Amino acid sequence: MTLPGRTLAAICAAAFAFASADLAFACACCTNTGQRKATVEKLDSGKLDEIRRLRFADTARLFLGEADADSVKGITSPSERYALQVIQQKDRLVFELRDQSGRSGTLSLLQPASISIFEIDPRDNAGDGVAARASTRNGN
C-alpha cells in the first residue's frame, strides 16, 4: 500500500517533530536501501559552511587507545585533560590546548583542497525509513 504524497510528507514532518533530541535519523526520502557513497570531493562552500558551524567543548581529553602515555610524540608531559579553545581562521582551524599545570601548545590544521566523503544508508530493514521508526518508537 502506498501513501499519497501529502500524507507521506505529513508523516515525515511529524516524525521529525517528535523525534527526541538525542536521536538522529536520515531522511528516508533521500536515500535508497543499502545506498553507499565513498568519494573524494572538492571542499566547496557548502562543506566549508558546515565546518564553520562546528562548535567545540571547553575541554579535551588525550585519547591513546591501546598505546602507552610514553608513546606520545610532540607532547613533553602528556596530561589526561586540557582546556581547549578553537579559533576558526579563513584557511585553518587552530586548537589551543592548556593543561592543569599551565603548559600550553597549539595544533593548526590547514584547510585542504579536497575532503573524503563516506556515507551509508543506516536503515536496518526494520521498516521503510523515518515514518516506520517513529511509529515503532511510539508503540503504534
> Is the Cβ–Cβ distance between 101 and 107 less than 8 Å?
no
70 and 135 within one domain = no
Beta-carbon contacts of 7 under 8 Å, excluding residues fewer than 6 positions away, are: none
Q: What is the residue whose three cell numbers read 602528556?
A: 78
105: three-class secondary structure by DSSP: strand
pTM across the whole model: 0.57
Per-residue pLDDT, 128: 54
107 and 54 within one domain = yes
Per-residue pLDDT, 3: 41
71 and 25 within one domain = no
Residue 4 has pLDDT above 90, yes or no: no
What would the pLDDT profile of 33-76 be if each residue is shown by its tens digit?
778 889 999 999 999 999 899 999 999 998 888 888 778 888 88
77 and 45 within one domain = yes
46 and 23 within one domain = no
Per-residue pLDDT, 134: 47
Angle at 95 between CA 69 and CA 84, to 5 degrees: 75
54 and 92 within one domain = yes
**Domain limits at 53?**
37-120
Average pLDDT over the chain, rounded to an integer: 76
Mutual angle of helices 5-18 and 130-137, in 10-degree steps: 50
Domain total in the chain: 2
Average the pLDDT over 99-113 and give the result.
93
139 and 90 within one domain = no
100 and 71 within one domain = yes
